[in-house]
Amino acid sequence: MKAMIFAAGFGTRLKPITDTLPKALVPIQGKPLLEHVVEKLKLAGVKEIIVNVHHLSEQIINFIKEKNNFGIHIEISDEREKILDTGGGIKKAAHFFNDGKPFLVHNVDILSNVNLNEIYQQHLKEPERLVSLVVNSRKTNRYLLFDEAQQLHGWVNIKTSQTKPTKGMDTTPFQKFAFAGIQVVSPKIFELMQHEPEKFPIIDFYLKHCSNEKIIGFVPENLKILDVGKIEALKKAEKFVLNICIIGKSKSTKIQNKLYKFSETQQ
């Protein structure tokens, strides 16, 4: 099984920490977010991972080397010259997913109790699926719209009433869920991406194709998930990791000769 980790972002919502430390290396219980995600993917049976990088990329690359690629095959998708957004990031990594099998895509700032192997196996049961999106009912202004069969139909900003892919679409028949930053993607996606620009967001791409392709929302039972993309989420993340079964014992992690601890991130 193969996977991609999105780690190229600027981590703007985590400033000033991310002025000098990439979001992927922000520590939770002494362990960088990237390490938490890699361990979770390995637990699911992933043997090969590609990680896209842009902001403070050398730190991420060096960390992976210091960890000896976590004992698996890890490649870097180099976006140092130009960050490609989520859709462009997947498109650039097409060469890596050359085995004709679906693959996992995981945001680096997501911690969860999601059984990734279960989601993957569910996806395999329907070969016609283009994408399986992990979603939840967290409060947000922006929601994906799904029918009773969990097929994606659109998107709405409940604050501005903006809708996609059709302006002014009636959202009342649909269930509203937020994307949780974890997905299983079929390799067919690369055919559909051929005429896309170099840089584009993946959600807009899905909205463009949801009328013709099977794009399914997956709501795991007893889902516990946390987006660690904001400063205020860091303290929650410390407790979250202790309460949720994230594999591996907490250890202090040395990054570029400095020992980062949670208390330092709050100063």
Q: What is the pLDDT of residue 37?
A: 98
Kindly tell me if the per-residue pLDDT of 242 is higher than 90: no
Can you give the pLDDT at residue 44?
96
- Please give the pLDDT value at position 189: 98
Smallest CA-to-CA distance from 150 within 238, 220, 225 is with 220
Q: pLDDT by residue (tens digit) across 30-80?
A: 999 999 999 999 999 999 999 999 999 999 999 999 999 999 999 999 999
Q: Higher-confidence residue: 227 or 260?
A: 227
Tally of domains in the chain: 1
Q: What percent of the chain has pLDDT over 70?
A: 91
Can you give the pLDDT at residue 260? 35
Which amino acid would we find at residue 31? K
Angle between helices 202-209 and 85-92 (to 10 degrees): 90
Q: What Å distances lie between residue 242 and 89, 157, 181, 236, 267, CA to CA?
A: 32, 34, 21, 10, 22
Q: How confident is the model at residue 243 (pLDDT cuts 50, 70, 90)?
A: confident
Helix residue spans in the chain (DSSP H) = 33-43, 57-66, 85-92, 116-124, 189-192, 202-209, 233-243, 262-265
pTM of the entire predicted model = 0.89
In CATH, what number is assigned to the domain containing residue 203?
3.90.550.10
Domain span at 146: 2-265
State the pLDDT at residue 251. 38
User: Which is it for the CA torsion 11, 155, 215, 188, positive or negative?
Assistant: negative
Output the six-digit token pair for 58: 């050398």
The percentage of residues in the chain with a pLDDT greater than 90, rounded to a whole number, is 85
Predicted confidence (pLDDT) at residue 253 exceeds the cutoff of 80 = no
Q: Which candidate, 208, 222, 198, places its Cα nearest to that of 83?
A: 198
- What's the maximum distance between 2 C-alpha atoms anywhere in the chain? 55
pLDDT averaged over every residue in the chain: 91
> Is the pLDDT reported for residue 12 higher than 80?
yes
What confidence tens digit (pLDDT) does each residue in 86-143 have? 999 999 999 999 999 999 999 999 999 999 999 999 999 999 999 999 999 988 999 9
Report d(CA 143, CA 61) in Å as an integer.
34
- CB-side exposure of 136: number of CA atoms within 13 Å? 18
In this prediction, residues 5-19 reach a mean pLDDT of: 94
Place of tokens 């390490």: 35
Asked which of 28-32, 159-163, 222-226, 243-247 is least confident by mean pLDDT, the reply is 243-247
